[in-house]
Amino acid sequence: MNPARVPDIFSAVDPGEDFFRSFLKPWRQENWPATPQIRIDVHEDDQGYTVKAEIPGVRKEDIDVRIEGNQVQIGAEVKQNQENREKARVLRTERYYGYVSRAFSLAHDIDRNAASARYQDGVLELNLPKAAQSTTSRKLAVE
C-alpha cells in the first residue's frame, strides 16, 4: 500500500526558474555537424615551448601558422573531395569542410626566426624558442 503524497508548497521551486533555466541549457541538434576544434598540448622548458596540435584530414600546404610576439595562431583549410557518383544520393554527412583556427598567448615572446613546424600523421608540432630578453635595466630621467 502506497501512502498518498502531498506536495510541500513551501519547498517548491519558483516556477519561473525552470522556464529561464531551460534557456541556459546548450542547444543540441543531432543533424548539425559539430565544428571541429584544433586541440593542443603546450609544454615549456627553459629554452622555449613545444606545441602539438591535432589537425587531422588536412594537407600540410593548407596549414597556416602565424607568430607575433607571444601570440600564436594556427589555421587550416579542410577541403572537400568531390565524389561524382551517378544515381547516388547522400544519406548522411557528418564531415566538416571549411576553415578552422586556434589562437593563444604564451608567457614569453617567441623568436620567430628560430621557430620551426613539422606536420606528420595529423599532428602539427611547433618548436617555439623563447626570444632573448634583455636583463639589464635602464633608468629613465623624469622631466
Q: How many CA atoms lie within 13 A of 101 on its CB side?
A: 9
> Are the beta carbons of 110 and 47 closer than 8 angstroms?
no
In a domain, 135, yes or no: no
Split into its structural domains, the chain has a count of 1
Range of the domain at 107: 32-51+69-81+94-116
| Segment (H or E) for 53 | strand 48-54
In a domain, 128, yes or no: no
In a domain, 27, yes or no: no
In a domain, 2, yes or no: no
C-alpha 46/C-alpha 89 separation (Å) is: 56
Q: What is the pTM of this model?
A: 0.65
In a domain, 126, yes or no: no
In a domain, 103, yes or no: yes
CA dihedral 8, 11, 12, 17 (to 10 degrees): 180
Predicted confidence pLDDT, tens digits, the chain (143 residues): 555 655 555 545 555 555 555 555 555 545 455 567 899 999 999 999 999 999 988 898 999 999 999 999 999 998 766 666 677 787 777 777 788 999 999 999 999 989 999 999 999 999 999 998 755 556 565 64
In a domain, 138, yes or no: no
In a domain, 45, yes or no: yes
**Edge-to-edge strand list for the sheet holding 71-78:** 63-68, 71-78, 98-105
